[in-house]
Chain A
Amino acid sequence: MLHPLSPRSKSNAAHPLLRTLFAALVVALCLCATAATDPAARFNDLGHRMMCTCGCSQVLLECNHVGCTVSGGMRNELSQQIASGQNDSLILQSFVQEYGATVLAAPTLHGLDLLAWIMPFAVSLLALGGTIYLVRHWARQQPATAPLRTPEEARAFEAMRERIRRETQEDIQP
C-alpha cells in the first residue's frame, strides 16, 4: 500500500500528490467493496451495512430493543435473499427500494455519495501537500548564518552556547 506520506516528491510536488490521492482512493474503494463469500459471513457483512429502521439509529445486527418488530423481519428477509442466491448489490438495492436510502449504514460509491468518501482523504492530502510546500518554502527563506563580526560577538556567542549547554544539561534534555 502506498503510504500517504511516502517521500516521493523530489522535484515536482504535484504528480506524487495526485498519485497518492489516487492510490488512497483505490485502497478506500477496495476496502469498501470487499465482499464475503460464505452465507454466514455475508449475512454478518450485509447486516452491518444496513440500519434497523425502527428509529433506534442502530446497525441492523446490533439492534437490541425489546420487542423491536422491525429488525427481526429485516434479518429474516436478509437471510432469505442470501439463501435465494442474490448478490450483495441486488440485496442492498432491494432493501433501499423497500425501506428508503436511510437503510444503508454508509453512503454508496455512486454519484454525490462518492464525495462523502473522497472529501476526507482529498482534504487531508491537500492539507498535507500544502503543509509540506509551506515548510519547504519557509526553510528556503531562512537566511544563511551570518558570520560573527567582532571578537566580542564571538566571545558572547560562545558564552551563550556554554550557558545553553549547561542549562539544558540541568534540565536533562538529552
Chain B
Amino acid sequence: MAAFGSFALLIALILAVYNLFAGGVGLRLQAVGGGASRIAPERLLETARRAGIAGFVAVTAAAFALVWSVFHNDFSLEYIVEHSNIALPTAYKFAALWSGQEGSLLLWCWLLATYGFVLRLTDSEDKRLHAYAGTILAGVQVFFLVLVNFVAMPFSLVRGGVAPPDGNGLNPLLQYPEMVIHPPMLYLGYVGFTVPFAFALGALMMRYPGEKWIHITRRWTMFTWMFLTIGIFLGMHWAYAVLGWGGYWGWDPVENASLMPWLTGTAFLHSVMMQEKRGMMKSWNVWLIFSTFMLSILGTLLTRGGLVSSVHAFAQSSIGTWFVVFLGIILAVCAFTYILQRDHLKSEYQIESLVSRESSFLFNNLVLLAACFTILWGTLYPVLSEYVDGTKKTVSGAYYSHVMVPIGVFLLLLTGVGPLLAWRSSSLKSIRRNFLWPTIAFWIALLACVLGGARVWGDEGVFYAAVTWSLGAAVATAILSEFFRGASVLHRQTGKNLAASAILLTRRNTRRYGGYIVHLGVVLIFLGFAGYAFNRSAEKEMPPGSSISVGPYTLVNIGNTEDSNANYDTEFSQLDVYQHGKKILDRPMAPEKRVYLVNGQPQTIVANHSTLLWDLYVVYEGKNPNTGMPIIKVFLNPLVSWIWIGLAVTVFGTLLALVPTLQLARVTVPAVVAPDASALEGHATAGGD
C-alpha cells in the first residue's frame, strides 16, 4: 500500500502541474485571441479541467491508502508507527490521518482536491471564471503536493526497514470523540478559503465584468466560514472537556491561528454586501479575501514552522521555510495582479453619511480587523521581544482578556446597530424609532444586573459581563423587533398569524433574516462568554466519604476506583451530587485520569453536569503522592451551555442564508380591451385574403 500511496501522490502532482500549465496557457491564448494556434484554447482548458478531476481521484486514492494502512496496522510505515497502535479504537484510527504533519498535509491536499472537484463539475455557471479559479486552485495544490511528495512524506518507510511489532499510539489528547470531527471541520474551513480566494484572484485577472463573481465567491465563503466556525467551536468544546482547566479558550497560538482568518472572513461577508448593493469597496473586498487566505497559510506557518510554541501543536517541524516562500509568492501574485488591474476596482459610489448602513459595515470591518491585528500582534510579540531585547516574553490569556474584551464588546454593539440603519443615510426620525426599544432593553438589563448584585464598578470582569449582557439584550430586541415589524406587515397583507408570517418573511429573504438569526446566535455566544466572569472553583483532597461544596452543590466521594484495558489504565472517583441536601443525579459523576500504556501519557476526562444556568465541572487531578488520596477540583461555570446553543443557532442561520429565497410568482393577466369594431373588420378582411 505504501508504494500505491506514493505513486498516487506522484500522479496527483503531475496532474496538478499539468492543470496549472495547461490552464495558464489556455487562458493566456484565450486572452490574446489565440484562435489561430495549433490547439484551441477551449480544448486546452478542457484538458486542464479534466486533469483537475483526475487529480482528485489520485489524491483520494493516496488518502485511502494511508487510512487502509492505519486500519491494517502497517508498521512498515513510519507515520503509522508514530501515530497509531494495535489497541487503538477503530474510530480513532481515522484521527491518525490528521494527528501528524504528513497526514494532516495529505488531508489538506485531499480537501483541496475535493473542493476543486466540485468547482470543476459546476463550471456551467461561468466556464471562463471557473477556468481561472480552477487554474489558481491547481497552483495551490501543486505546493501542497510538492510537500507531501518530497518534504513531509506520509508513506516513508521505517528506518532500517524492519517494522516494529506495535506503534507508539495516537496522542492521548486526540483520543476523544470530538477529535474525530473537529480537525476535518477546521480544515474544511481553512482549505475552503482557497476557493473564494481563487475566484477573487481569477476575477481580478480576467477583469470580470459585473458582480456575478461576488455572488459565487460569497456563497463559497459562507459555506467555508460555517465549517470554520463549527471547527473552532468543536475545538473549544474539546479543550473544555479534555484539558481540564475549566475553560474553553486559552489564546494559544493554534487557537489564534484559526481565529484570524475567521475574523477577516467575517469582515468580508459583511463588506461584500456593500459591493453587491452599491458597487462600493471593491478593492477592500478583494484584499479581505486575499488576506483571509493568506492568514490561513500564515496560521499554518506559525504553528507548524516552530516560530511560536503552542500547547497543542501536534505537528510541529521545520517545514516553515516552505510556507514562508509560498506566502511570499502568494503576496507577490496578489499585489502584482492588483496593481495591474486596480482601475477595474473603482467604486461606483461612495459613502454618503456617517450614520448609514454602509458606515456600520465599515466600522464592523474595522473592529474585526482590529481584533485580527491584536491577535496577530499578541501571537508574534514573543518573537519580536526575543528579537529586540533577547528575552522571550509570554503572552497568554491575561493579556488578551484586557485587550480583546473591549473590542469584542464594541463588536457586539455594532451587531445591533448595523441592521437598524438605512442604506445611504438614516434620518433622525428613523434612528429614534428603530433605537427606542433596544435602548430601553439595554437599560433594563443593566439595571437588572445591578439589582441582581453584580458589582459593576468593583470588578473589571463583572463590569464587562454586565455591559455584554445589556448589549446582548439590546441586540436581541433589535433583531426580534425587525422580525416583528416585517411579520406584522405580512400578517396584515395575508391574514396569516404572526408566527406563520415570520416564517414566510424569512423564506422571502433568507439572506437577510438568516443573517439576523446568525446575529442572534452571536448574542447567545457572548451571553455564555460573559458568564466566565462569575466562575467559581474549589479544590480538595478527597478520601472516600469526604465532601466538597461549590455554589449550591455538594459533592460526596462514594469511592475511588482503578481499572485497566488494552489501551489505557484509568483511575477515577465517584461523586454523588447534592443540591440543598437533595441528591440530584441518579448516577454519580466520575471524573477520570487515564494513562495510556503504549506511551505512558496521561489524559484528563472531565465529568460535567451541564444545565442552562451553569456547568458543574469536575476534574480528577491525580493522587497526592504522600497520602494516595485523589485531589478533586470542582468548577461552577455559569452559562457555558449558551455558547454551544449559540453555535447551533449560528449554524442554522448560516444554512438558512444559503437557501435560495422564495420567489414570488408573478402572474401576468392579459388586459381585457373592448373590441374595436373597425379593427375586427379589417382583421377579418385580411384573413379573408
Our verdict on whether A and B bind, yes or no, reads: yes
**Cβ-closest chain A residue relative to B603:** A66
Do the beta carbons of B245 and A172 come within 8 Å of each other? no
A93 sits at the interface (CB 8 A): no
CB distance from B438 to the nearest CB of A (A): 15
Instruction: Specify which chain A residues have a CB less than 8 angstroms from the CB of B395 in the assembled complex.
Output: 106-107, 116
Interface residues of B in 394-439 (CB under 8 A from A): 394-399, 402-403, 407, 410
A171 sits at the interface (CB 8 A): yes
Do the beta carbons of A135 and B394 come within 8 Å of each other? no
Query: What are some 12 contacts across the A-B interface (CB < 8 A)?
Result: A64-B619, A66-B621, A66-B622, A105-B398, A106-B396, A120-B377, A131-B362, A136-B354, A139-B352, A139-B353, A172-B490, A172-B508
* Cα(A170)–Cα(B311), bound, Å: 54
Known contacts A64-B604, A120-B374, A136-B354; A107/B402 CB under 8 A: no
A34 sits at the interface (CB 8 A): yes
* Cα(A142)–Cα(B410), bound, Å: 29
Interface residues of A in 85-133 (CB under 8 A from B): 100-107, 111-113, 116-117, 119-121, 123-124, 127-128, 131-132
Do the beta carbons of A121 and B460 come within 8 Å of each other? no
A70 sits at the interface (CB 8 A): no
Do the beta carbons of A123 and B370 come within 8 Å of each other? yes
A153 sits at the interface (CB 8 A): no
Which residues of A line the B interface, CB within 8 A?
4-5, 28, 31-32, 34, 48-49, 51, 56-59, 62-67, 100-107, 111-113, 116-117, 119-121, 123-124, 127-128, 131-132, 135-136, 138-139, 141-142, 169-172, 174
Identify A56's interface contact among B246, B311, B490, CB under 8 A: B311
* Cα(A30)–Cα(B13), bound, Å: 57
* Cα(A67)–Cα(B601), bound, Å: 12
Instruction: Specify which chain B residues have a CB less than 8 angstroms from the CB of A112 in the assembled complex.
Output: 385, 388-389
B486 sits at the interface (CB 8 A): yes
Do the beta carbons of A59 and B396 come within 8 Å of each other? yes
Do the beta carbons of A105 and B622 come within 8 Å of each other? no
Known contacts A170-B664, A172-B508; A117/B244 CB under 8 A: no
Do the beta carbons of B393 and A113 come within 8 Å of each other? yes
B350 sits at the interface (CB 8 A): yes
CB distance from B412 to the nearest CB of A (A): 13
Known contacts A57-B311, A172-B490; A107/B397 CB under 8 A: no
Interface residues of B in 466-504 (CB under 8 A from A): 482, 485-486, 489-490
Proximity bits, B585-611, A CB within 8 Å = 1, else 0? 000000001010000001010000000
> Chain B, interface size: which category?
35 or more
B381 sits at the interface (CB 8 A): yes
Known contacts A101-B393, A105-B396, A116-B395; A31/B402 CB under 8 A: yes
**Cβ-closest chain B residue relative to A7:** B354
* Cα(A88)–Cα(B377), bound, Å: 27
Instruction: Specify which chain A residues have a CB less than 8 angstroms from the CB of B595 in the assembled complex.
Output: 66
* Cα(A121)–Cα(B377), bound, Å: 12
Instruction: Specify which chain A residues have a CB less than 8 angstroms from the CB of B353 in the assembled complex.
Output: 135, 139
Instruction: Specify which chain B residues have a CB less than 8 angstroms from the CB of A127 in the assembled complex.
Output: 366, 369-370
Closest 7 pairs between A and B when the two form their complex, measured CB to CB = A106-B399, A120-B374, A66-B622, A124-B370, A105-B398, A138-B350, A57-B311
CB distance from A142 to the nearest CB of B (A): 5
* Cα(A67)–Cα(B624), bound, Å: 9
Identify B398's interface contact among A48, A65, A111, A131, CB under 8 A: A48
Proximity bits, B307-345, A CB within 8 Å = 1, else 0? 001110000000000000000000000000000000000
* Cα(A123)–Cα(B373), bound, Å: 8
Instruction: Specify which chain A residues have a CB less than 8 angstroms from the CB of B381 in the assembled complex.
Output: 107, 116
* Cα(A116)–Cα(B244), bound, Å: 29
Instruction: Specify which chain A residues have a CB less than 8 angstroms from the CB of B180 in the assembled complex.
Output: none
Instruction: Specify which chain A residues have a CB less than 8 angstroms from the CB of B206 in the assembled complex.
Output: none
CB distance from B239 to the nearest CB of A (A): 11
Known contacts A64-B619, A101-B392, A116-B377; A128/B508 CB under 8 A: no
Instruction: Specify which chain B residues have a CB less than 8 angstroms from the CB of A171 in the assembled complex.
Output: 508-509
Instruction: Specify which chain A residues have a CB less than 8 angstroms from the CB of B619 in the assembled complex.
Output: 64
**Cβ-closest chain B residue relative to A125:** B370
Instruction: Specify which chain A residues have a CB less than 8 angstroms from the CB of B369 in the assembled complex.
Output: 127
CB distance from B623 to the nearest CB of A (A): 8
* Cα(A127)–Cα(B373), bound, Å: 11
Do the beta carbons of B370 and A107 come within 8 Å of each other? no
CB distance from A7 to the nearest CB of B (A): 9
Interface centre among A101, A169, A172 (most CB of B within 10 A): A172
Instruction: Specify which chain A residues have a CB less than 8 angstroms from the CB of B244 in the assembled complex.
Output: 64
Do the beta carbons of B403 and A120 come within 8 Å of each other? yes
Instruction: Specify which chain B residues have a CB less than 8 angstroms from the CB of A104 in the assembled complex.
Output: 393-394
Do the beta carbons of B311 and A124 come within 8 Å of each other? no
CB distance from A36 to the nearest CB of B (A): 10
